[in-house]
Structure 1
């Protein structure tokens, strides 16, 4: 996996955008979450890139809210606000079309190369801190 991570990071170092010309469907889950915590989204970001982006979002959120892990609904909210994602209700979605991402597993996989990820210019977003702060305030109000 280390080689694949390096290749993905290197491709993102040169990237001008996170977006692809194709739409992808994702089921976001969390190993420690409940089934109702899952989120089904569609967005124009390829799976490997989304894995890196989700790690980045989790890392930035960790800086604000160490005591609250990012769950799928929070990740979906951020992806909708900043990265052109739309939430789906599951109707008319084929299981073969769905990419499953477990946020806990994703964190574990990408943490060893996290320092390289957080410095990627393509991941920086001016509005991210404010959105993460909003997610944190919501988490404090409605603890999981």
Structure 2
């Protein structure tokens, strides 16, 4: 599906997503027109979903990150949909993932500090529907975040 030129282009794009097409083409050793066509083709195929800004929420004053694992009441056929809809309304929820297994849903939640997290947990998290169990894991350190793929 990908040739060496596509991989080289994607490596440069992953390293600096804000590059303009002309600069990206120069770094990848392509003409601007060829680079643009390849980017369009990769986007049409769904390889490139979007170029997006990555915001460091810590620099915005959020010091606490907690991963909450939920088991939901599976006897209610609406449990997943209603839980997910309610979780989407909590602004401090920065990630929602669903799983097969003992854990049904994981929410990644940020807070300014422990007091803010405690208020958020009591007022917004515990009021989410269909919860039968919650496990909280507080982030201590991020050792590695994959920012590049093995291309």
TM over 0.5: no
Q: Which fold has the larger relative contact order, with Cα–Cα distance below 8 Å and residues 6 or more apart in sequence? A: 1
Larger Cα Rg: Structure 1 or Structure 2? 2
More strand as a share of residues: 2
State TM-score, norm by structure 2. 0.25
More helix as a share of residues: 1
